[in-house]
A and B are shown apart, each in its own frame.
Chain A
């Protein structure tokens, strides 16, 4: 397991294009098996989705005390990862913007394996006012 970053995340200080954590790990057969069982799909090829490369890259650098809600994901699949191979991930701040008075952070990560195969590019749209979403889901609260 990797450790969480210690720098406090301040939305206003984040810079579009800013590089986030870059890290390597070995995808194990156990990770693939657990992923496939969790999603009830014995042929699911991208356990990297559950590794959450972009969020991991963000959280390796920053300690996020605000939290956020995943408002959306965009993923591009290039090649399924192979168990036993080392995967290299690099992350960045792809965008940030305010919509309807809510701040959004877009993080992105690209993964390649030890043979240089491009595996996946993942973007997550995080809404950084999670309590607002809670109010929407539970308006009586």
Chain B
């Protein structure tokens, strides 16, 4: 049976990210579809959500979580077998600071090694949870 030096309850490196109008716009600008959405159009966000701000894409939080997991597992492992599964609970917007933390909760042998599962939490600067979920990777 495959085993790892990873322990249950072990914490993964946390990352903290500043959300700015510029970072939201830049993230959206990578897209290839010309389309207004609640991340780039204040008018649309107001009309659809009733907010007076645009939202940061949830995929930004996915990227932050992936960075934490990559630093924990290493890029050779995480970039080729990693997963991130996040449920978004609160809006993230310009001026927020998002911190991702995580803790190993499970390990099990699989065909290519050991599947390690990590519980993930994203919090803003007020310690409000903005997203929760799980990440995994297969450690050879």
- Give A contacts to B, CB under 8 Å: 1-4, 23, 25, 31, 34-35, 37-41, 43-47, 49-52, 55-56, 59-60, 67, 69-80, 125, 130-131, 133-135, 137-138, 141
Task: Look across to chain A and name the residue whose beta carbon is closest to the beta carbon of B137.
Answer: A77
Contact among A70, A80, A130, A137 for B79, CB-based, below 8 A: A80
**A107→B50 CA distance, assembly (Å):** 25
**A35→B60 CA distance, assembly (Å):** 10
Contact among A1, A25, A70, A74 for B85, CB-based, below 8 A: A74
Q: Could you mark each residue 54-94 of chain B with 1 if its beta carbon is under 8 Å from any beta carbon of chain A, else 0?
A: 00011110111011001000010011111111111011000
Task: Look across to chain A and name the residue whose beta carbon is closest to the beta carbon of B78.
Answer: A77
Contact among A1, A37, A41, A49 for B59, CB-based, below 8 A: A49
For residue B11, which residues in chain A have a CB less than 8 angstroms away from its CB? none
A-B contact pairs, 17 of them (CB 8 A): A4-B33, A4-B34, A35-B27, A37-B26, A41-B63, A41-B67, A44-B66, A47-B30, A67-B38, A67-B48, A70-B58, A72-B87, A72-B88, A73-B84, A75-B62, A75-B66, A80-B79
**A130→B28 CA distance, assembly (Å):** 19
Q: Across the interface, do A59 and B29 meet the contact criterion of CB distance under 8 Å?
A: no
**Distance between B121 CB and nearest chain A CB, rounded to angstroms:** 14
Task: Look across to chain A and name the residue whose beta carbon is closest to the beta carbon of B87.
Answer: A72
Q: Across the interface, do A137 and B84 meet the contact criterion of CB distance under 8 Å?
A: no
**A134→B130 CA distance, assembly (Å):** 15
For residue A138, which residues in chain B have a CB less than 8 angstroms away from its CB? 50-51
**A30→B28 CA distance, assembly (Å):** 13
B133 at the interface (CB under 8 A from A): yes
